[in-house]
Amino acid sequence: MARTFVVERRAYALTGPTLVAMALLTVVPIVVVISRAASAEGRAIAGSLLGSSQFHQILGRTGIWTVVSVVGAMVIGFAAALILQSGHVRWPGLWRGILMVPWIIPGVVGATIWKWGYSSTYGLLNHALVSLGLIDQPVQWLSNPEIVLYALAAVQVWSTAPFVMLLLGAALTSIPGERYEAARLDGAHAVGLFRHITLPAVNATAAIATLMLVTFALNAFTIIWVSTAGGPVGASTILPVELYRAFQNGDDTTVAVIACVQLLISAVFALIYVRSIKAGDE
């Protein structure tokens, strides 16, 4: 009994400083932001923002940005994981390392590369499309308000798809090969194998990847700011960009209100994730 008490005290003594540091670095800032947003000034700003058509457009663009970047990254990342895991690709480890480069390089570097690539005068993308005869003249990828958000979402997909490939690739590796062999002996075809073995095996990992991608999308700032700074005419302004502008103006209360809006959106997706995991366990 005495030995157990000593071990518990030692455990608390070792973990206590870490818990206190985590509380100071995470919980305290969150409480400060929420309390500032809940103040009288914060409530007035929140009412003004929620009644503003401009803020509604920012929320709409944030939703489009999140859906396009998350769905695109999931589809491309999962396809890459399946191809590398299929056994029909030589040196899968080498290709996996090459495909991880967009995820590894700094966001500023990736955004600058794509900004040059999207250029209507010297960009490689327009040059390739014109050479292939797919377009007659260069596309204004970053200056056309109707397509700029989708062009930037493609960069976000390029950056985050390797993360999905890595997670789902690990999940695919954990599926026993005997399971596929037994299904084939029972006459299962490729679609049946994918539907009844592959998808159920990666569901939980895919849910985690989706939640992480939503978090990445709701916090994405570098790609948009480096490429367009939210323009043209605000066509690529989403919540993180608007939050940064409020920060530049020194408006701490507006920053706190927008941060709380982002927190609420993230909490909704986290709740959906937790409910889906519980439903899967049941």
pLDDT digits (tens, 9 = 90+) for 262-280: 888 888 887 887 777 666 5
pLDDT tens, residue by residue, 226-276:
999 988 888 999 999 999 998 888 888 899 999 898 888 888 887 887 777
pLDDT tens, residue by residue, 150-163:
999 999 999 999 99
- CA distance linking residue 19 with residue 138, whole number of Å: 55
Cβ proximity of 205 and 280 under 8 Å: no
pLDDT tens, residue by residue, 5-22:
777 778 888 888 888 888
- % the chain with pLDDT above 90: 43
Count the Cβ atoms, other than its own, within 10 Å of residue 227: 21
Tokens for 19? Answer: 């818990």
pLDDT at position 151 is: 95
pLDDT at position 2 is: 63
Tokens for 273? Answer: 């994730």
- CA distance linking residue 267 with residue 276, whole number of Å: 14
- CA distance linking residue 31 with residue 96, whole number of Å: 41
pLDDT at position 1 is: 59
The pTM is what?
A: 0.85
